[in-house]
Chains A and B, each alone.
Chain A
Amino acid sequence: MSYDMFNENFLEYLKELLGNELEIFLENSMKPLKESIRVNTLKISCDSLKNILIEKGWKIENIPWVDYGFWINYSTEDIGQTLEHSLGYYYIQGAMSMLPVEILDPKPGELILDLCAAPGSKTTQISQKMQNKGIIVANDINIKRIKALSSNIQKCFAINVIISMRDGRFFFKFFKNIFDKVLVDAPCSSTGIIRKSWKVAKKWNIKTIERLSKYQTQLLLSGFDCLKEGGILVYSTCSICPEENERCINNLLKLRNNAYLEEIKIKNVKYEKGITKWKNEEYDKDISKCIRIYPHYNDSEGFFIAKIVKKND
């Protein structure tokens, strides 16, 4: 099979990262990503929506790691152009993209910061987990993306959200030590979702990865500083590059001595532990508590997720 859409440097990089799993990764990258939806339980119950969709002739399958997520194996219409979608009964969201919020585990009454929130997939998921009780501050830097965020919050009936437009890297200057939980779903190279856009594989270059890595570290540090003592931060990207993931976590552990990694406990997801050695870099041993999910493991997007707790100084 030819993998023309991967540039040579990226192929070399992947070979080093994946070893003998490279071929299966590349094969998987050629397949389209399965469509999936999240039921917006702020508007309708899973059973009610399931019945509506089945009655319409759709074939749906439970996503094993979230009880309100479904794969759409067959639909009688474009899933983004239905009455139910327009009414906000469901949100089109990647199956693995629902996992970071599950790990964050938002509870009603908490004060939560979503630092890089647009277009709002995870913000609205957090809101439904909180049953609209408590407060979410959804921040993003980009005005165009803020508009999408605002529309999705409206459609999903997330009434407990405040939208903020600040540079996430400096958010800590205004809101230090106050949030119960923080989600940093950082902008990334998207190397875990090549199946969505082959452009990612074609245009990949290490300079961009290095630039992103610095930016992501700054966001992570800022998000961590916004947490109160005992608070939980979840860091996630849809990238499989260690520079954007393990290296950022390692930087945080080095720069904040009250940051500790927590073991992530999830069922029904195949994953690998975070890596502690990459090229000539050695990372903190605790980084093995993070998880990296390759796209071919669960027939989904690729993701990296870390769970961090802020302890006493």
Chain B
Amino acid sequence: MSKVLVIVETDASGPKTSALPGITAGQQLATAIGGELHLLVLGASVGAAAQAVATAGFGATTVHTVEHAELSPFTAEAWADAVVAAVRELGATAFGGTASSALREVVPRVAALLDAPVAPEVTGVAGAGAFTREISAGRAIARLEVEGAPYGFTARGSDFAPAEAGGAAASVSALAVGAISRRGTEVAGISKTESTRPALTEADVVVSGGRGMKEGANFKVLEELTDLLGGALGASRAATDAGMVPADLQVGQTGKVVAPNLYFAVAISGAIQHLAGMKGSKTIVAINKDPEAPIFQVADYGLVAKWEDAVPQLIELIKARKAG
């Protein structure tokens, strides 16, 4: 029976939340090709995490593991060695997962070694080897078809619901693979943006600021609005380039793609590259002092005002509503 192999990124206790949409895409693809879902967990020591994935089931037959010192921390080189071996060993038809920064680095490398095509950052499964995705900064929707097997895919997190635990537990099976190596590379460290807020790509509400915020300190007022709504903070390229907020808060074609229930674009003009990352949001609010700003063309509600006036007022009004 044909197999769909989904690479599941894990932390110590189980699958990362960000990996769950990729599992859903794998389930849909397995259904489309009439095949089985298999999961792959990689790392230096993955026993507990793989067991948690297996217990959650997710409709998968088997959770395959590869444990090797070179697999932690993540490098595309070592992970590609493991994934290539797994795809070959299992004879998988398709391989992929959520379009995280890690899988966007590793899936094409694997595909090159297997002489395989990749359907990148897909937004939907349209059949066996057929997918939909956005191109040209969201200005066109493409239906693409891959030829032959195996093929790779990465699934855009905002377009697939997180997979839910359920069904029979999967079995866990260690894969024997050949050499795994980082090719002499070394991960010197990772500086994480610490935040107590929900992840940008998982939040129900996102409040983003742009160049018009003028400086980092001014984001305080946006943070206040964000926290009042239990949301995540985002930004345009202009704001991240200027160092007002960390780069990983950038929303857009080359940043995060978000689709929350409620999106605030404050002092953001609405360039197509920004729109590409947020126009799937359910309700969009734009606050901009320029009535001609293109952001108003995608906003459900637009307020022509300076943020200095509008945002503090908004905070007070929402607080008053909440109080009672």
Asked whether A and B interact, the reply is: no
On B, residues with C-beta under 8 Å from A are none
